[in-house]
Structure formats: C-alpha cells, structure tokens
Structure 1
C-alpha cells in the first residue's frame, strides 16, 4: 500500500520532492531518481513523517554521500535527508562531545581539537558524516568509531526514539551490526585532555600519511590498468 503523494506534498510542503534526481546528493554524481525525497527539518517533523509513511513505503536514509553508489534506476520509495538541524556539536562535559548524525567527521575532529581533546584525530582522514561513520564503524590508522563512541540516539522507522549505549553494539570491522530499521540522530563521544597544538600536529601528520597512501593506490591502479 503506497501513500498518496499529494497528501505528503500538502502536509510537508517544500520538504517533499517528487521524482527527485539524486545525482547531486552523492560524491560520485551518479544515479537516478527517487520517487519521494524528504528533507527532515527537525526531530518532531521527522517523527511525524515516519508515522505517516510507516509500512507504506521503503525508506533509505542518505548521509553525506561519500561512500554511496546510487543505481540509475528510480528508487521506488522514500529517501530521507537530515537537515542542518542535525548538524550541531556541543560539549556535554570536559571530555564528552555530543554531535548530530549529519556532522562531518572532519568537523568533529576539529571541534575536539579546539576544545583540547585527543582521540578524535583519525576522523580528519575520514570522509562522510557521523551517522555513516557509526553505521560502518569507519576508521583509519588503527582507530575506529567504536573506540570513541559512548552512545547513540536513534529513531526507528515507526517513529520511536531510543538511546543505545556503545557497550550494547556488536561492532565488527567496518560494520556496527545495527538494524537497518534505525536512523541515527546524534551520538556522544569520549576523548581525553590533550593540548590543541599537539592534536593539530597529529592531524596534520595523519593527513600526510593518508595522502601518501592515496598516491600509492593510484599508482597501483595505473599499473593494473596497463597490465589489463
């Protein structure tokens, strides 16, 4: 059973797009359209929307689009994008940061640096957002999201909000094992006190290493292409 598109458009106004092109919503600029595209302004509106489409449409949540391949075929469902209201960062205590799921990983690393917190430096090398990073347990240079995560606030596709402690998440390599029914809203992270200049220097060194690795991968691809 599909929901009335006219009903959605009238109720959610400019936040609903019908037959929407997704090419500009991912880093690769590829892919087709989605039947419905919804940009959630805030949690209250998101809950209202999810209850409206519950069990009536397939739902896919699109993050930063840095690690997403979109098919050329039209997605016969709803693609949800969280607005900048899910892009806030703040200090909960001296060593704990709360970040919205739409926060860029690099921005989280820089916020930690500005507040003299270590442990977040590896995030400067990871593209994408907090939500995607948690979902795939992103990491580099020996550190992963699971190493700094305290808890996450989620909402399921029925509109129910809950908090999940990190200790209850069965993290694996590049996987959180969290249900696809969950949409990540925000997360809390724990760091440790560290001089901002030292944090900045480590971030600079990690970016240098990342650049070298990327150049090595590029050269390897060039060699393989010549062989083929």
Structure 2
C-alpha cells in the first residue's frame, strides 16, 4: 500500500461501522487526512485494486466474507458544512444530513430539510441521488468535487451526474469529497418546524431504533414498495435473525443474531413473493457489497 498521512488499517472489521451490525472485514480501510491525501493515495494505488467509499453505512449490506481492496471512509476532515452565500452551502463528503440541514437552518436556507431524514453522508447522497418527502439531491445539487479512482480531482455539475431515481452516473471507485447545495431564503423557525415534522413522521413510521439498513427496495413506477411487500404477506417474515419489519415493511432488521447472508436471503425471498403476487420485480435500493 502507498504511504499515507491518514489512517490505513489492514483487515478492518466493518460490522461496527454499518447500521445492520453484520458483515466481514475490509481488506484495507483508509481514512484520509484530507482530499490531497486521498488523491495521492489513489494515484499511486495499483489500478487493479478495487476501491469503495463508505459513509455512515446506513444503506448497505456488507457480505460476511468481507470487502476486497480498499474501503475509503471520510471522517472529521470531511464533515464540515459552511454557507457560501445567502442560499448556498458547501458540504464535506463526510457530513451527515442532520449537520447539513441544521447548518442550513442557522443560515436561513430552506429547501434542504429533507436531508434531515436520510441517514447517511453527503457523499452517499450525491452517489445515490438520495431523497425523501418529495425532494431528492438532484433538486438542490449545484456541483460536487470528486476524486476519481485514478486520483484525478474533478468537479461534476448536476447535469454531469446523469441523475435518475436513486441512481447517478458517478464512476466506479470515485469518492465524493464535497458538494455544493442550493436552497432558498427561509425563516429559521419555519425550517426547524419542517425538520421537526419530518423527524416525527420518521419516528412514527420507521423502525429507527432497530439494526436496519433503511429502505430496502426502490419504489417501482406508480407503486410503493412497502405496499407490495405487505400485500405479498411478508410483514414480519423472518429468516434466522433477519426479519421484515412489522412497523414498515420496506425495512429489513437484524433482530440481534442475523448474518448478512440471512438479511440478503430474506430480501430475495421478499422479492420472489412480491413477483409471484403482483408480477412486479422489486429492485434493491440497499447496496450489497463484498464476498458472500
């Protein structure tokens, strides 16, 4: 491995870093000191070594055999959020949705409250076109700074990212180190009110206190994934320590002893039952990585 200024750890357990609390180790876990450290490392890393970015691990199944190559985790050096002007924020790739929305509130910038409800980091939001409550990242993103797998640093505008529902054209192995979001002027009290409404709605409808991975399947056009799962009789369906949430059927949960293999297999059971019942093929929204 190339020399780094940040932290490079061999055979690093990933289960403590992901919401499901399951899965194997990263062959290498790299926590760069800054964007230059990341760019220099990737430029000198053998081109055949795979690279994957890890945020808060909320929308992720790490398979039990672990992840080959390098997992990049952006820590505190990438967690800053600051206003650029009256309606614009520059956000580090490791900043949480809660930090982004709170900073926006303090600056009187509305329109990004929905990020409060997405359990992840800016880098993940940009990659997956994260969204909730009627808005998504493509509605607010101006541009993002990316470190490509080659180590080259580039700026990609909204149009360059080819956004569709929960998908972008971000190249494989690329890492989002910062993003610029644009909202609109709003009163901090009104922004806080919307954030509180979103937080209450999530608490009432989602199993937030469980070991989960967030929304499991994408909503098919004109349909709600949870309703299709429910109609197929999957509410509470279990496999080993994995279970379809009783509270929200588009969430899988680890009841305490689940393996990643059980969680993924349960998801495939749900997909099969929905297909048999409705003829609709659900697509995974949760990212599944590593070796089984």
Alpha-carbon shift at residue 154 of structure 1 (Å): 0.5
1:166 match: 158
Q: TM-score, normalised by structure 2?
A: 0.69
2:179 match: 187
1:223/1:34 Cα in 2 relative to 1: closer, same or farther (>3 Å)? closer
Task: Check the 8 A contact 1:42/1:83 in 2, yes or no.
Answer: no
Q: TM-score, normalised by structure 1?
A: 0.87
2:11 match: 19
Task: Check the 8 A contact 1:54/1:158 in 2, yes or no.
Answer: no
Bigger CA drift: 134-143 or 175-184? Answer: 175-184
Find the aligned partners of 2:29 and 2:234 in 1 and give their Cα distance: 38
Q: How many residues align?
A: 216
Over aligned residues, Cα RMSD in angstroms?
2.1
Structure 2 counterparts to residues 11-160 of structure 1, below 5 A: 11-12=3-4, 15-160=7-152
Find the aligned partners of 1:150 and 1:54 in 2 and give their Cα distance: 32
Gaps of 5+ in 2: 208-225, 239-272, 274-292
Alpha-carbon shift at residue 13 of structure 1 (Å): 7.1
Find the aligned partners of 2:108 and 2:5 in 1 and give their Cα distance: 43
Alpha-carbon shift at residue 225 of structure 1 (Å): 3.5
Structure showing the higher helix proportion among its residues: 1
Alpha-carbon shift at residue 91 of structure 1 (Å): 1.2
- Superimposed CA distance per residue, residues 33-89 of structure 1 (whole angstroms, 9 cap, x where no aligned partner): 122111111112112211221314111111111111101113221111112111111
Gaps of 5+ in 1: none
